[in-house]
Amino acid sequence: MVVNIGTSIMEVINKMNQRRLTFVISLIFLCFSFASKGSQNAEDTFEQLCASCHGKNLSGGMAGSLLDDQWIVDGSPDALTKIIAEGLISRGMPAWQDALSAEQIRALVIYINEQRFKASRRVVPDETQPSRVTSLGHTFDITEVYIAPSILWALEFLPDGSFITTQRDGALYHLSADGELIGDIQGLPEVWQQGQGGLLDVALHPNYHNNGWVYLAYSYSTDGEVGGLAIARGKINNHRWEDHHVLFASDPASHSKSGRHFGSRIVFNDGYLFFTMGERGIRPSAQDMTIPNGKVLRLHDDGRVPTDNPFVNTPDTLSAIWSFGHRNPQGMDVDPTTGLIWEAEHGPRGGDELNVVTKARNYGWPIITYGMNYDGTPMTHLTAKDGMEQPKHYWVPSIAPAGISFYNGDMFSEWNGKLLVGGMAIQDLQLFTIDGDTITAKEIVLSDRGRIREVKVAPDGSIYLIVTIDGKGHVLRLSISDKTT
């Protein structure tokens, strides 16, 4: 990489007093040395260019700490990007825009925000957590109602208040509201349990009380070597799966050996079946309109493709596609007030997104993102581009969002109409206030109870969470005990 630093360094020297000259000369050699190394991860970039002033652990040195809130800028990603690029000569901070690419600066911003979050977080061991919590206008009890032998993925409530829950290794359990095992559903379709794959989402038909249809999302394989996503429906009679119909099965041409990024969340809206599919770890596939990878898809409840789907008459395009450019969307719910579909998806390192899913829109992955590669190396400096949707919210650092659910009940009256979002990497249950398609506030309900995979509102208004602790699925119930005044 060739770095043109001569002019900018001379300008810096002219503006700085003589006692800083030694620092500037050393900076010139550092820039040339760094430029010769090419792309590297953000941690190494920080250590080489920033640690001598801000400290290796970001706690301060010649310059201030990056872990507290005593900053001369507001700490937002945009402000941090600007000051790294342009510097602040009056405070002795050089401009790095000639020594670092835009992608490297973006990666550095993510790294600093990750370290700030880690420093601010005090993780309380699970066994010391109180069972009664006061948060955001309510005092409520947290009760562990069930522990599964392995990872649970989703749950769905039946009209009588009991629920069914999927275990990723292929089991489907029927439990009472208090977590008593009523039955283990037999005769389920065979799943391809590979990595993140297995038996994933479960959903009831909106008219379930009349037709009895239950919908499953699961990974499948025709040869045991590569796999994709299937959506099926059936009925549960005497704890047996019957009347199995596959409504959608990804074409083997789109299959992969990878066990990553299946998506798999199901919702119904206006009588249509919507479901997500991740890009299976193959980034360009999210923009490939011939395959379902990296898409939100829309079908009739019986698997037929609606004639008003946006690409139904477009040559060389999969007719079930509703939107595209998604990475790994594992959360989706419908706002009961507006009818808008909200979707949460995993970004790379940084850049998890909360989107409103709109017909025919491109959500940009992998061309635009607020994240970087998992190894800390830059991905792209593009966070926006014409013709591509911006997220309604993005998380840096990543929270690994999974299940999301609009609260619509009486028990937690202060939260009515708000969106609950669970995080797996950052173990928060977050609450979003929404006005139309705009987020107006984000708050934390609770933290550090495990990796929150699923969030669901029960018929009585209590909130159920699926969390993973030490490889086992735990079902937690949040129920109101008193309201704060």
Cβ atoms within 10 A of the Cβ of 485, count? 4
Average pLDDT over residues 232-257: 97
pLDDT in the model for residue 69: 65
Residue 39 has pLDDT above 70, yes or no: no
pLDDT at 60 over 90: no
Is CATH 2.120.10.30 what the domain over 127-482 is classified as, yes or no?
A: yes
The predicted model gives 403-427 an average pLDDT of 97
6-120 CATH fold = Cytochrome Bc1 Complex; Chain D, domain 2 (1.10.760)
The per-residue pLDDT for range 451-478, each reduced to its tens digit, is 999 999 999 999 999 999 999 999 999 9
What per-residue confidence (pLDDT) applies to 322? 99
Domain 6-120 shares a fold with domain 127-482: no
Is residue 80 a contact partner of residue 149, using CB atoms and an 8 Å limit? no
pLDDT of residue 30: 46
Question: How does pLDDT run across 439-451, given as a tens digit for each residue?
Answer: 999 999 999 999 9
Sorting pLDDT into bands at 50, 70 and 90, what band is 61? low
- Amino acid at position 150, single letter: S
Per-residue pLDDT, 7: 42
- Return left, alpha or beta for 209; rule: phi > 0 is left, psi -120 to 50 is alpha, else beta: alpha
Indicate the range of 41-55, 186-200, 298-312, 395-409 predicted with least confidence: 41-55
Tell me the catalytic residues.
261
* Six token digits for residue 133: 């919590």
Average pLDDT in the chain: 89
Higher pLDDT: 389 or 107? It is 389
- Per-residue pLDDT for 181 more than 80? yes
Domain assignments of the chain as residue spans, ordered by start:
6-120, 127-482
Q: What is the pLDDT of residues 92-143, one digit of tens each?
A: 678 989 889 988 888 888 888 888 877 776 544 455 678 999 999 999 999 9
Quote the pTM value.
Answer: 0.83
Q: Which residues, listed in sequence order, are joined to residue 457 by a DSSP beta bridge? A: 463
Which pLDDT score is estimated for 208?
A: 99
Q: What is the pLDDT of residue 117?
A: 76
Helix/strand/coil (H/E/C) assignment for every residue in the chain: CCCCCHHHHHHHHHHCCHHHHHHHHHHHHHHHHHHCCCCCCHHHHHHHHCHHHHCCCCCCCCCCCCCCCCCCCCCCHHHHHHHHHHCEHHHCECCCCCCCCHHHHHHHHHHHHHHHHHHHCCCCCHHHCCCEEEECCEEEEEEEEEECCCCEEEEEECCCCCEEEEECCCEEEEECCCCCEEEECECCCCCCCCCCCCEEEEEECCCHHHHCCEEEEEEECCCCCCEEEEEEEEEEECCEEEEEEEEEECCHHHCECCCCCCCCCEEEECCEEEEEECCCCCHHHHHCCCCCCCEEEEEECCCCCCCCCCCCCCCCCCCCEEEECCCEEEEEEECCCCCCEEEEEECCECCEEEEEECCCCECCCCCCCCCECCCCCCCCCCCCCCCCCCCCEEECCCCCEEEEEECCCCCCHHHCCCEEEEECCCCEEEEEEEECCEEEEEEEEEECCCEEEEEEECCCCCEEEEEEECCEEEEEEEEEEECCC
Q: How confident is the model at residue 308 (pLDDT cuts 50, 70, 90)?
A: very high
Structure confidence at residue 37 (pLDDT): 44
Of the listed ranges 33-42, 209-218, 228-237, the least confidently predicted one is 33-42
Between residues 483 and 211, which one has the greater pLDDT?
A: 211
pLDDT tens-digit readout, 418-436:
999 999 999 999 999 999 9
Separation of alpha carbons 9 and 5, rounded Å: 6
What are the φ/ψ torsions at residue 156 (nearest 5 degrees)?
A: -145, 135
- pLDDT of 3 reads 36
pLDDT at 92: 66
Q: What percent of the chain has pLDDT over 70?
A: 86
Quick: pLDDT tens for 325-354.
999 999 999 999 999 999 999 999 999 999
